[in-house]
A and B are shown apart, each in its own frame.
Chain A
């Protein structure tokens, strides 16, 4: 039984860590994969909390569809977040 609790705490810690990673990462593609990992862990946690319907939905939507829409957006725009300390030039008009 203790192994379940260790697994649970590990999953919760991993989820917090992945959330921080996907916020601070400058490469947007890695950040999007991070949100996919968050959804995957969330789906396992829903199964622990006795909500199998919600776990199915989260696994299908959060892991597959949201990630692919983000990746298409990154492909059509830019991949890297800009540096914050850059001297701000006036917007080209």
Chain B
């Protein structure tokens, strides 16, 4: 079980830096681009970055997935002390449940946004937000 992948200091902060960079790239796309589909793509990229950030905040060094599988328990009797000892080496399950919800909701939001894009295109025959009134900032 000695799987010490993240002991080197290079990868200590690589996840955080990548997640923040992807959030910034997505925000840039959503703020600067003029085409409506490009704005939705930017929001989708932003969503991916936030999910990566949340999961990497909940990581514990050389932890296992929060599943009490038979391979992990082996033949240990399931007393409360043993469960506590096993759960010391597990990653935080709360952000995982949160991100599970966030991904599914994010897909619903993307689908509704894209149907609004189709509706706007049918009405205005363009996707440029400069030419559609009331969408400028």
By a beta-carbon cutoff of 8 Å, the part of chain A in contact with chain B is 1, 4-5, 8-9, 12, 15-16, 19-20, 22-23, 28, 31-32, 35, 38-39, 42, 45-46, 48-54, 57-58, 61-62, 65-66, 69-70, 72-74, 76-78, 81-82, 84, 88, 91
CB distance from A47 to the nearest CB of B (A): 9
Grouping DSSP codes into helix (H, G, I), strand (E, B) and loop, the A interface class, with mixed when no group exceeds half, is helix
Q: Per a CB cutoff under 8 Å, which of A48, A54, A66, A76 touches B118?
A: A76
Instruction: Give the tally of cross-chain contacts (CB within 8 A).
Output: 144
Residues of B within 8 A of A (CB): 4-5, 8, 10-11, 14-15, 18, 21-22, 25-26, 28-29, 33-35, 37-38, 40-42, 44-45, 48-49, 51-52, 55-56, 59, 63-67, 91, 96, 99-100, 103-104, 107, 110-111, 114, 117-118, 121, 124, 126-128, 130-133
